Amino acid sequence: MSSINILEAIVAKSKLSKKETAKQQKIVESAIALFAEKGYSNTSTSEIAKKSGVAEGTIFRHYGTKENLLLSVIAPFLKESMPDLAKDLREEVNPDNNTRFEDFIESLIRNRLNFLKANREIFRVVIKELLYRDELRYDLFPHIGKEMSAFIGNAINDYKARGELADIPNDQLIRMILSTIGSQFVVRFVLSPETNADNEEREIESLVRFIVYGVSARD
Amino acid sequence: MSSINILEAIVAKSKLSKKETAKQQKIVESAIALFAEKGYSNTSTSEIAKKSGVAEGTIFRHYGTKENLLLSVIAPFLKESMPDLAKDLREEVNPDNNTRFEDFIESLIRNRLNFLKANREIFRVVIKELLYRDELRYDLFPHIGKEMSAFIGNAINDYKARGELADIPNDQLIRMILSTIGSQFVVRFVLSPETNADNEEREIESLVRFIVYGVSARD
Amino acid sequence: MSSINILEAIVAKSKLSKKETAKQQKIVESAIALFAEKGYSNTSTSEIAKKSGVAEGTIFRHYGTKENLLLSVIAPFLKESMPDLAKDLREEVNPDNNTRFEDFIESLIRNRLNFLKANREIFRVVIKELLYRDELRYDLFPHIGKEMSAFIGNAINDYKARGELADIPNDQLIRMILSTIGSQFVVRFVLSPETNADNEEREIESLVRFIVYGVSARD
Amino acid sequence: MSSINILEAIVAKSKLSKKETAKQQKIVESAIALFAEKGYSNTSTSEIAKKSGVAEGTIFRHYGTKENLLLSVIAPFLKESMPDLAKDLREEVNPDNNTRFEDFIESLIRNRLNFLKANREIFRVVIKELLYRDELRYDLFPHIGKEMSAFIGNAINDYKARGELADIPNDQLIRMILSTIGSQFVVRFVLSPETNADNEEREIESLVRFIVYGVSARD
DNA sequence: GATGAATGAGTTTTCATTCAT
DNA sequence: AATGAATGAAAACTCATTCAT
C-alpha cells in the first residue's frame, strides 16, 4: 500500500475516533519532541511514556505499535500541509497584480516559513524519517511536486509571458526553486534548530534574490 | 565528546591504525554498505558480522564498540575530503585560466561530484548521521566553511573585482553556493540513490546556470 | 481449587446466575466460538469483547475474571450433559426389549452424537481445556464413569447374562466402549471439525461393529 | 509451506549445525518438560530460561523464536518416529512367523509403547499442540496413515487371505486400529501421565483382545 | 449497568558486548 | 587473531484487570 494511502487512512481514522484524550495529546506531544530530537529509532517507547507521565501500555492501547505512533504524528502534518498551502497562498499571494516574480517567491517563502515555524518539531521528525523510508520519499516528493505544479504553474506561465523568467521547463524551474527553499528550511529548522532568527528578514531577502538572480552581479 | 574533539579524534584514530587485515576491510566495507542503506542505529553488529563473513566477536576485537566502528568508517572520508578538495581543486580549477565564474563553479561541482561518486556510500552514511550527532554537525560545517573560505576566498575576490559577482559578503556567498550544490548532491546520492545519471551533463549545466543567474531571464 | 470442588462449583455457579442479559449471551457466545477455535489461553478478553460488540469492562463486570467466564461457558454443558444422557437414553434405548447389544450401543452413540452436534463448540472447548486442567480431568472422568456405570451397569449385566458380552469386568468394558466412542467424537468434532458428514450412517454402523466384534472376521 | 516441510527443514538444519551445546541441551530439555506439563502458550521463555539455568537471551540466540524452539523440540520426534517404526517393526514383528493377527497387533502395540515410553514428554507436547495447529494435524495424520498403510498393508492382506480379518477396506481397518491404539496412548501418557503401570501386561492383552474381537463374547 | 481509558506486570525479542577457548 | 557461545539490559508489545464516569 502506498505510503500516502496509509497516511490518509490514519487521518481518516483519527477523524472518526472520538476526540483525543488528554493523555493521548501528551503522548503525541512527547513523541514529537523526542522523535524530533533523537530520531525515531533512537527513542524508546518507555522514554515517551515517562515523558508523557503515562504507563507504557497506554501508548500501545492507543497506537498499537510504535510505528503507528510515528505515522499518527506525521500524517496530519503531511496531509494538511498541502491544502493549507494552496488556500493560504491564494489569499496571500496574488500573482495577477503587478507584483513581480520576486514578490511571488517571497510570499511563497513567508507562507511556508510560517507553516514550519508552527510545526517545526514535526518537520524535524519528517525530514529525519525521510532518509530511512523509501515509500515516504517516493510518495511525498512527486506528490508535493504535483501539488505545487498545479498551484504555481499558472503563475510561472504568467511571469514567463512577461519575460521575467528564464526559458526553462516548468518542472525544472519548480524543482530548483523548491529544493533551494527546502534546503534552507532544512538548514534552519533541522540542522541548526537553536539558531535565533534575528536576521530573518535579511535572510529571506537574500534567499529571494539568490533564487531569482543567482550570485551574479546585476548591472 | 567535546565539540572540538570529534574531528580531531577521528583524524587521530585514523593515523593510529596499522594497516587493516583482510577481515577488517570486509568489516568496514559491509558496515559502510549497511549503514548507508539502513542507517547506523538500524544496523546490528550481527548483520555486519554476517555480511562480512566474520564472527561477531571479531568486530569488537578490532573496533571495541559499534560506535567506534562508525567513526572508523567516517574518519578517512572526512579526513581526506578536505585536503583532497584543496589539492585537487588547485590542480583542476585555475581561476586565472578560467575566465568566467561559471567555469569556476562548474569545476568545483565536477570535482566534488567525482569525489562523491567515488565515496557515495560513505557520503550517505555521513549525511544520515549528521542529523543525529550534534557534535559532528557543529564541528563539520564551520570546518568546511573555513576550508572553503580559505580556498575560494581569493577566487571570489577576483571575480568580485571583475564585477561578475553580486556585492554580497563572502561568507554569505559561500554559504549559498555550497548549500545549493550540497543539497543537489544530497538529492542525488542520498534521496534518490538509484537514479541513473543519463543527463548528468545537462544537470550540471543547469545547476551552474541557476547558481550564477538564478531563475530570471537574462537581459 | 480442590478436586471435588470444580464440578460442584460449576454447578453451583450456574444455579446462582439469574437470567442472562442479551449482552451476556453475546459474550458467552463469542467466548465459546473463540475458545473453541483458538483455545482459552490464546484468546484475549479484548477479542471476546470486540466479537461481542461489548466493552471490555462489561465482561469483567459480569464474570469477574476470564477464568470465570470459561467456567460459565463450560458449566451448563457439563451439568446438563449427564442428566440429559440418563434421561434421554432411558427414553430412546430400552434394553429390556429384545434388542441386541449392538442396538444398545448404537442408541448410545446416536444419543451422544446428537448431544454433541448441538454442542459441538463447547465440546471443543472442553476437550482442549481438559489437557491443561488436571482438576477438570480428575473430576470429570471418574464422574462420567460413575454416571455411566450407574446407567448402563444393569444393561451390561443383562447382556452378559444373555451371553452377548465377553467376560470382562464391567468397569473395563465401560472404559473400552466409552474411550472408543469418545475418541471417535474427538476426531470428528475436534480434530476434523470441518468434515462434512455425508457418510455418518456408515460410520456409525462401522463403529458399532468394531466395538462389538472388533476387526476379526465373524464366521 | 507445509508443516512437514518445516519440520524437515529444521531437522536438516539441526543436522548441519555443529553439535548442540550443553546449554542448548538443557534448554530443549527444560522446554520439553514445561511444554509437556503446561502447554506451549502457558509456558514463558523466562521460565524455560530459569529452569535451564541460562540467560533468556541464550534461548533466542539459538532458536530465534519461541515458536522455533517448539518446532526444534517436536521435529526430531515426528521425523524420526516414522522411520524408526518401520525399521523396528520389521525386526520385531515378522508377520510370517506370528501366526495370528493378535500377535501382530500386540507387537505393534509393544513397539509403539516402547517408543512412547522413551519419548513420553514429547508425545505430550505434540498431542497438546495438535489441537491448536491445523497444519500439524493436516500434515501429520495423512502422513502417518500413508506410512502405516505402506507398512501394514501387506500384513493385513495376508491376514485377510487367511480369513482372520473382517472384510473391511484396508484404510478403514487401519484407521480403526490406529485410533484405538492411539487413544489408549493418549489416555495413558497425556491424560493420566502419573499412572503407574503395574498392570501394563494386562492392559496390552485386553487392548489386543478388544481390537481383534471387540466386546462380544467369543464362543 | 455499561463503558472504555488506563494500568503495570509480564512476554517475546533484540543486541551490543564479554570471554573462554 | 579469531571465534561464537553466552549474557543481561533494554526494547517493543500483550493483556487481564481496575475504575472513574
Q: How far is D173 from chain C (nearest CA, A)?
A: 7
Give the per-residue pLDDT at A98.
64
Beta bridge partners of D216: C165
Pick from B210, B218, B219 the residue to mutate for testing the A interface (most A CBs within 10 Å).
B210
Q: Which long-range contacts (CB under 8 A, 24 or more apart) does A85-90 make?
A: A85/A111, A85/A112, A85/A115, A85/A147, A85/A151, A86/A147, A86/A151, A88/A115, A89/A151
Give the per-residue pLDDT at C1.
40
**Nearest residue on chain A to B181, alpha-carbon basis:** A180
pLDDT tens-digit profile of D80-127? 776 666 666 666 666 565 568 888 899 889 988 988 999 999 999 999
Q: At B106, which helix (H) or strand (E)?
A: helix B101-118
Instruction: Please choose, from the candidates A112, A124, A126, the residue with its C-alpha nearest in 3D space to the C-alpha of residue A81.
Output: A112
Chain D window 7-46, residues with Cβ within 7 A of nucleic strand E? 43-46
Q: Over 60: is that where the pLDDT of C137 sits? A: yes
From the list D182, D192, D215, the residue facing C177 with the nearest CB is D215
pLDDT tens-digit profile of B100-141? 888 889 988 998 898 899 899 999 999 999 999 988 888 888
Percent of chain B residues past pLDDT 70, beyond the cut: 82
For D50-102, give the DSSP string.
Answer: HHHTS-HHHHHHHHSSHHHHHHHHHHHHHHHHHHHHHHHHHHH--TTT--SHH
Give the per-residue pLDDT at B10.
59
Rounded Cα distance, A171 and A183, in Å: 18
Q: CB atoms < 10 A from the CB of A50, how many?
A: 13
How many residues make up chain B in this entry?
219
If you classify domain D3-213 with CATH, what class do you get?
Answer: mainly alpha
From the CA of A24 to the C1' of F14: give the distance in Å. 19
Q: Report in angstroms the alpha-carbon separations of D158 from C210, D176, D214.
A: 20, 18, 21
Range C97-108 average pLDDT: 84
Give the per-residue pLDDT at C55.
95
Range C51-74 average pLDDT: 94
From the CA of D20 to the C1' of E19: give the distance in Å. 20
Range D200-205 average pLDDT: 92
Q: Higher-confidence residue: D22 or D96?
A: D22
Range C154-164 average pLDDT: 87
Chain D residues closer than 8 Å to C212 by CB: 214-216
Q: Over 60: is that where the pLDDT of C166 sits? A: yes
Enumerate chain D positions whose Cβ falls within 8 A of a Cβ in C: 38-39, 41-42, 101, 127-128, 130-132, 137, 141, 163-168, 172-173, 176-177, 179-180, 182-184, 186-187, 190-192, 206, 209-218
Domain ranges within chain B, ordered by starting residue = 5-213
Q: Over 50: is that where the pLDDT of B1 sits? A: no
Enumerate chain C positions whose Cβ falls within 8 A of a Cβ in D: 38-39, 41-42, 101, 127-128, 130-132, 137, 141, 163-168, 172-173, 176-177, 179-180, 182-184, 186-187, 190-192, 206, 209-218
Percent of chain C residues past pLDDT 70, beyond the cut: 82
pLDDT band at C147; cut points 50, 70, 90: confident
Instruction: Please choose, from the candidates A4, A122, A142, A139, the residue with its C-alpha nearest in 3D space to the C-alpha of residue A70.
Output: A122
Q: Which fold has domain B5-213?
A: Tetracycline Repressor; domain 2 (1.10.357)
Range C177-205 average pLDDT: 89
Q: Over 90: is that where the pLDDT of B52 sits? A: yes
Rounded Cα distance, B24 and B31, in Å: 10
Which nucleotide is nearest, taking the CA of residue D46 and each C1'? Answer: E11
Residue B206, all three cell numbers? 543547469
> At B216, phi and psi to the nearest 5?
-75, 155
- Straight-line distance from the first to the last Cα atom of chain D, in angstroms, rounded to the nearest whole number: 53
Which stretch of C29-43, D12-26, D94-108 has the lowest confidence by average pLDDT?
Answer: D94-108
pLDDT tens-digit profile of B160-211? 888 889 988 888 888 899 999 999 999 999 998 777 778 899 999 999 999 9
**Nearest residue on chain B to A167, alpha-carbon basis:** B217
Rounded Cα distance, A121 and A39, in Å: 11
Q: Higher-confidence residue: D34 or D112?
A: D34
Give the per-residue pLDDT at B3.
35
Range C127-139 average pLDDT: 89
Q: Report in angstroms the alpha-carbon separations of A125 from A121, A132, A195, B38.
A: 6, 11, 18, 17
Average pLDDT value over all residues in chain B = 84
Q: Is the CB of D56 under 7 A from strand E?
A: yes
Range B52-69 average pLDDT: 95
pLDDT band at B16; cut points 50, 70, 90: low
Give the per-residue pLDDT at C126.
94
Average pLDDT value over all residues in chain C = 84
Which residues, including other chains, have CB under 8 Å from residue D93's CB and lie 6 or more apart? D104, D107, D108, D111
Q: Report in angstroms the alpha-carbon separations of A207 from A210, B102, B177, D77.
A: 5, 20, 11, 73
Which nucleotide is nearest, taking the CA of residue B23 and each C1'? Answer: F2
Which residues, including other chains, have CB under 8 Å from residue B81's CB and lie 6 or more apart? B115, B119
Average pLDDT value over all residues in chain D = 86
pLDDT band at B2; cut points 50, 70, 90: very low
Which stretch of A170-174, B19-23, C183-187 has the lowest confidence by average pLDDT?
Answer: B19-23
Residue by residue, pLDDT tens for chain A (219 residues) are 566 677 777 777 777 766 788 999 999 999 999 999 999 999 999 999 999 999 999 999 999 999 999 999 998 888 777 666 666 666 666 655 667 888 889 988 998 898 899 999 999 999 999 999 988 888 888 888 887 788 788 888 888 888 889 988 888 888 899 999 999 999 999 998 777 777 899 999 999 999 999 888 775
Range C193-204 average pLDDT: 83
From the CA of A40 to the C1' of E7: give the distance in Å. 25
From the CA of C128 to the C1' of F16: give the distance in Å. 21
Give the per-residue pLDDT at A151.
77
Give the per-residue pLDDT at C12.
64
Chain E: bases < 7 Å from a protein Cβ: 1-20
Contact predicate B145/A149, CB 8 Å:
no
Rounded Cα distance, D155 and C19, in Å: 60
